[in-house]
Amino acid sequence: MAPSAVVNLERTAAVVFDTDGVITDTARGHAAAWKRVFDAFLRERAERSGERFRPFDPDEDYLRHVDGKSRADGVRGFLDSRGIAPDPDTVAELAARKDASFLAEIHEHGVAPFPSTVELVRELHRRGVRTAAVSASRNCAEVLRAAGVTDLFDVRVDGTDAARLGLAGKPDPALFLQAARQLGVPPGEAVVVEDSLAGVRAAGAGRFGVVVGVDRHGNGESLRAAGADLVVTDLAQLRLHGRRREPLAPHL
């Protein structure tokens, strides 16, 4: 275990967790859903135009262009990388197809939480530290419920809240800042745990106390370059130091 992978709880009032890829093992399901949608779109476009069909890469394209973003921002980000400027109807249609594809994926295969994340959240509660689950997805509540971890978190901020409150998506820090507001803590006293580059950048822009990058894809250097203070490959590697002198109200 790297000695630097330590969070000082004397300076930490709350920990904010990204959902997909940090709490739940759903990043692969998202990537697979995006691939089905984008490949169908790109193949049809190639057949019409005579261009070479170049499929969506569920590793590189997913991490660079869609991971951590809202569906609409993901559509725009990926298509922009291919030199395609989609009209609003195309963005909405592809986003809707991706949503349907992902929901079919989780209904068929279920959702598993990462055991080390569950244990970390429970240990944080034992030490009086509050927690939040954050996601750009409007399916966050369903994903957490399917994984059986809804009750682990004091606060949830997701794509439904973003639409209702007019919050910008990552890499804007609005989702994380809203979670901090609902937790009642200043950003400087909160830790953000993220696996996406957009999410790490968002946490840095929000001036959170510590940003932990979770490298599940071999992109640790990119997470550091994006602003992660600590990088681990699994949250079992994260050490907690001390506990708050005046513990917050216990998690119910």
Query: What CATH number should be reported for the domain holding residue 186?
Result: 3.40.50.1000
Residues 79 and 125 in one domain: no
Say if residue 171 is preceded by a cis peptide, omega within 30 of 0.
Answer: yes
Residues 21 and 32 in one domain: no
Residue 122 lies in a domain: yes
pLDDT bucket at 232, cuts 50 / 70 / 90: very high
Residue 52 lies in a domain: yes
Q: Looking at the chain, which runs of residues are DSSP E strands?
A: 6-8, 14-18, 130-134, 155-157, 190-194, 210-214, 230-232, 239-241
Residues 53 and 166 in one domain: no
Domain that holds residue 128: 6-26+112-241
Q: What are the angstrom distances between the C-alpha of 209 and each of 63, 137, 180, 189?
A: 24, 24, 12, 5
Residue 20 annotated in active site: yes
Residues 93 and 124 in one domain: no
| Active-site annotation holder among 18, 67, 158, 195 | 18
Q: Is the pLDDT of residue 251 over 80?
A: no
Residue closest to 17 by CA, chosen among 169, 112, 209, 156: 156
Residues 14 and 129 in one domain: yes
| Active-site annotation holder among 20, 61, 73, 154 | 20
Q: What confidence score (pLDDT) does residue 67 get?
A: 86
Q: What confidence score (pLDDT) does residue 244 get?
A: 54
Distance CA 89, CA 20 (A): 27
Locus of tokens 């904010």: 16
Residues 93 and 16 in one domain: no
Residue 251 lies in a domain: no
Q: Is the pLDDT of residue 234 over 60?
A: yes
pLDDT bucket at 20, cuts 50 / 70 / 90: very high
Residue 42 lies in a domain: yes
What's the sign of the alpha-carbon dihedral 128, 234, 183, 200? Answer: positive
| Under 8 Å between Cβ of 30 and 206 | no
Question: How many domains, in total, are found in the chain?
Answer: 2
Residue 172 annotated in active site: no
pLDDT bucket at 34, cuts 50 / 70 / 90: very high
Q: What confidence score (pLDDT) does residue 247 get?
A: 41
Residues 173 and 75 in one domain: no
Residues 72 and 154 in one domain: no
Residues 207 and 126 in one domain: yes
- Mean pLDDT confidence for 118-127: 96
